[in-house]
A and B are shown apart, each in its own frame.
Chain A
């Protein structure tokens, strides 16, 4: 069993938190784990990605080969498409539908959404609005994680355990908000 996941977004959107949570859940299972991150210049509002590799067997490359990712998990729709070369034919795209528009000419959003919908296995959700509805504005990334959970093969309990472990030091309210965000995402997945 292996899961190769491309996490995508814009610098500052919180994809590394998603990576940490999934990584924690994988480690609890006793799986191997490698996670290549982007630090440096791109974190200033540029496109960022993380290669997250989980496997029952030892993992060699820190980078996922093209055409091999089981999932692209993105907190921004155009960024989801940027990593399409990595996606396996039967892979999933799980992405926030809400654009992060910090460039001069952001493409036609409908066309972006249409391209995402053309991929057989996709979940396109407005994670920002969902997070707002449940009053967990800062947990948009966890909503997207929730939507991905089923397709990743991780249970709600496993991810809740990870949230508790990672967010505990920030207090019960933050843990609770993230539980709610996870649950809201799960329902859309």
Chain B
């Protein structure tokens, strides 16, 4: 037992290992990446033979975790919030199959979109799947919830969703560890049909899940992570604070007691009785929650809602979008707020950008030149460092929607008659979900040029391995791209003429072309250089 300084992500990872996890499965994505990275670095994981390789995408990660759970062992699957969209199919169905070995689906949301294309709230997925959701408010709870999550999962044979947000994922604090649990032995499910979702069985499974709901609520009512403090000085206001929002509430009162009744909620489904008790005792309720107004909406929708006011994001007591902070909570509480001095006008924005010497920069410059005669609006792109090719000085791409969408959107636009239709996708993103789109193009003989930027890593998240590494040409050829239309070059200023020519030749070809600019990410090179130093 020791005290460690850990990021929220790392605390969860350490907790899962100490709680007897046998495998972690994930695809990198900010702010979740550090969970897997921590486990991969861990000596303890090595000594205990904990499985910990990256998956092709979040769907394969969740499915693999379900498989490990089937075999009786404890598993986690980790991803960022939009990754759960990719994994939604196995995730939703895992609520029906339930778990054998403990199964945690860990999802890190990114309110305010620091590194994401939306700020969806994963608690909705938990409610949708009708499974318990844990939302830690600090690093210690991250650690403790890994233990508790596995216990809950094995007690009810149900997967448990753990929801993090950016500020906790990437904030470091002291965490007290506890006695380690052994891993489970290999063990078939007691019911051989547990993971068989043929309609006749699935209907029974659904009834079973419905019957479990009252137990899940009872667990939340008695949870160590939910605290009702209803003995307060003033009853004109009751506060429901979920996850991190609880800290912002406490911050505003320092070492003093909050003068109102407070309900801290870190475990769902909602503890209905506790909320009802508070509702009866106070004049109005303020809901503080990070993300979308899930709790606020549910309380407003409850049948016993009378005339009392429910305040939160929906009535703009808190802004409808963006992450919380102590000042927004102060304002909502009617406390004096100190906004500080304004940012001086002289301060210029400093957006992220491609690194000095980045291979993508050369690839974009040549592509821009090859595309000059066609004007703007032809280049569909994807999720990764190269999305920064949208910004000056490149202005090279026109879309960024979801992992893999560059290829299929280019196909759709080509199907509509757009020429040329170019897709620009990273090597790791192509492995994640580009291959099926390429197959669509080949099946339909679409007139597209697919540029796979091969920098040999998953760059934006800090350089992780990916499953299709060093096999891109073979994959494309295997899927059916003609050999003479799989082109490769080294993106360097001195090769620009060749690069432009190759792009132009493939744009001229009426069919599916793949162009692969191939040069290692400069950040990875730097890391290697540092290691040798």
Contact = CB atoms under 8 A, between A and B. Distances in A.
Contacts of B303: none
A61 B352 contact: no
A141 B348 CA distance: 22
A47 B115 contact: no
B5 interface: yes
Interface string A34-66: 111111111111110001000001011111111
Contacts of B5: 23, 27, 33
- The main secondary structure of chain B at its interface with chain A is loop
Nearest 8 pairs of A and B residues by beta carbon: A40-B115, A40-B30, A67-B338, A46-B352, A85-B340, A67-B340, A61-B251, A66-B340
Interface stretch (B166-174, B294-302, B423-431, B492-500): B166-174
Looking at chain A, what size class is its interface with the partner chain? 35 or more
A32 interface: yes
Given A44-B354, A85-B340, A115-B346, A65 B173 contact: no
A99 B155 CA distance: 58
Interface in B151-182: 167-168, 170-174
A44 B339 contact: no
A103 interface: yes
A179 interface: no
Contact of B344 (A35, A41, A81): A81
Interface stretch (B17-25, B242-250, B278-286, B435-443): B242-250
Contacts, number: 150
Nearest to B168: A62
Contacts of B337: 66
Nearest to A79: B350
B325 interface: yes
A67 to B, nearest CB: 4
Contacts of A47: 350
Contacts of B274: none
19 contacts: A32-B173, A34-B171, A35-B173, A37-B7, A37-B171, A38-B170, A40-B114, A43-B462, A44-B355, A44-B385, A61-B247, A61-B251, A66-B338, A66-B339, A66-B340, A67-B338, A78-B347, A78-B348, A103-B348
B136 to A, nearest CB: 12
B351 interface: yes
Interface in B327-367: 327, 330, 337-344, 346-355
Given A38-B170, A40-B31, A65-B325, A84 B341 contact: yes
A43 B172 CA distance: 18
A104 to B, nearest CB: 6
Contacts of A45: 350, 352-355
Interface in A96-147: 102-108, 111-112, 115
B307 interface: no
A1 to B, nearest CB: 13
Given A44-B353, A86-B340, A37 B325 contact: no
Chain B contact residues (Cβ within 8 angstroms of A): what range? 35 or more
A42 B116 CA distance: 11
A105 B350 contact: no
A51 B170 CA distance: 11
B255 interface: yes
Contacts of B385: 44
Nearest to A16: B172
B461 to A, nearest CB: 7
Contacts of B338: 65-68
A39 B244 contact: no
Interface in A80-97: 81-82, 84-87
A15 interface: no
Contacts of B167: 36, 62-63
Interface in B236-259: 244, 247-248, 250-251, 255
A10 interface: yes
B114 A60 contact: no
Given A42-B114, A85-B340, A115-B344, A62 B171 contact: yes
A51 B462 CA distance: 21
Contact of B348 (A40, A62, A105): A105
A39 B354 CA distance: 16
B326 A63 contact: yes
A11 interface: yes
A38 B370 CA distance: 37
Contacts of A35: 171-173
A41 B352 contact: yes
Nearest to A82: B347
A103 B344 CA distance: 18
A81 B352 contact: no
Nearest to B113: A41
B352 A107 contact: no
A47 B337 CA distance: 26
B199 interface: no
A60 B344 contact: no
B460 interface: yes
A66 B250 CA distance: 16
A34 B114 contact: no
A65 B353 contact: no
A57 B256 CA distance: 12
A47 B327 CA distance: 22
B417 interface: no
B115 A34 contact: no
A46 B171 contact: no
